[in-house]
Structure 1
Amino acid sequence: MERDMTDQFEIPKEMRAMAEASFDQAKQAFEKFLASAQSTASSIENRGETVRAGAKDVSTKAIAYAEKNVAASLDYAQQLLHAKDLGDVMRLHSEYVQSQMKSLAEQASEMGQIMSRAAMDAAKPKS
């Protein structure tokens, strides 16, 4: 009697073939999904490296600008110490302000270019 029960629940060959085909399709779809997810993760990692490189460029440039600006301020202070009169102080101040304004404008322009380049590099599709 037990044997009769198992015979009743046997899956027909056609249904088994359909189920196997569906399983194979699902497996292939899942494998494609995984490959796509891995590709996306790799792309995100690459973009992260690009963003880190851009941030490093920005910080390196910012430090260089700070060093240059501090050096200019120290030079200005030293020149002020050697000023002979108020006329010298006014001339030195005027030269310092003009020089720093020019320098800051150049630095801002360069920093803008670096930031734009970093943003564009991060947005580029990786192949």
Structure 2
Amino acid sequence: MAAPGKYEIPNEMRDFADQSVEQARKAFEGFVEAAYKASNAVESQADAAQGNFRHVAGAAVAFAEQNMTASFTYAQRLVRAKSLEELMAIQAEFAKSQVETLSKQAREMGAMAGRGADAKS
């Protein structure tokens, strides 16, 4: 039994949420696979002038996959939390990590776009 004023998340609720997250992860992995196939199809039909675009598009898909994987991992950690305190710590850690990751990804995309603009000049 939980201490007074401390809420514990029932095991059944965590198990159900964990299964839901896993199903969503599998569905997303199917989506990412289809996105890579589509990206490869476009790449095989594109000429050299579109090389940078393919690189940027591939990086965007990779970043989306990276971010969704991090989000699914975060969701699984959330649903497995045993207390509100643990839940809040997981949230804070994820928020900090995502700000750092998104900043890095934005810099990389900006650098790729800059190289593409330089190549066109």
Aligned twin of 1:108: 106
The CA RMSD over aligned residues, in Å, is 1.0
Paired letter, 1:72: A
Q: Does 1:75 align with 2:73?
A: yes
Paired letter, 1:105: S
SS in 2 for 1:84: coil
Report Cα offsets for 1:64-113 as digits up to 9, x if no partner.
00000000000000001110100001000000000000000000000000
SS in 2 for 1:76: helix
CA–CA distance in structure 2, aligned partners of residues 76 and 97 of structure 1: 10
Instruction: Point out 4+ residue stretches in structure 1 off by more than 4 angstroms.
Output: none
Aligned twin of 1:97: 95
After TM superposition, the score normalised by the length of structure 2 is: 0.60
Q: Does 1:49 align with 2:48?
A: yes
SS in 2 for 1:77: helix
Identity between Structure 1 and Structure 2 (%): 36
Report Cα offsets for 1:29-86 as digits up to 9, x if no partner.
xxxxxxxxxxxxxxxxxxx733x00100110000000000000000000001110100
Paired letter, 1:94: A
Unmatched 5+ stretches in structure 2: 1-46
Report Cα offsets for 1:5-32 as digits up to 9, x if no partner.
xxxxxxxxxxxxxxxxxxxxxxxxxxxx
SS in 1 for 2:76: helix
Structure 1 position 122, deviation (Å) = 1.4
Unmatched 5+ stretches in structure 1: 1-47
Aligned twin of 1:61: 59
Alignment length, in residue pairs? 75
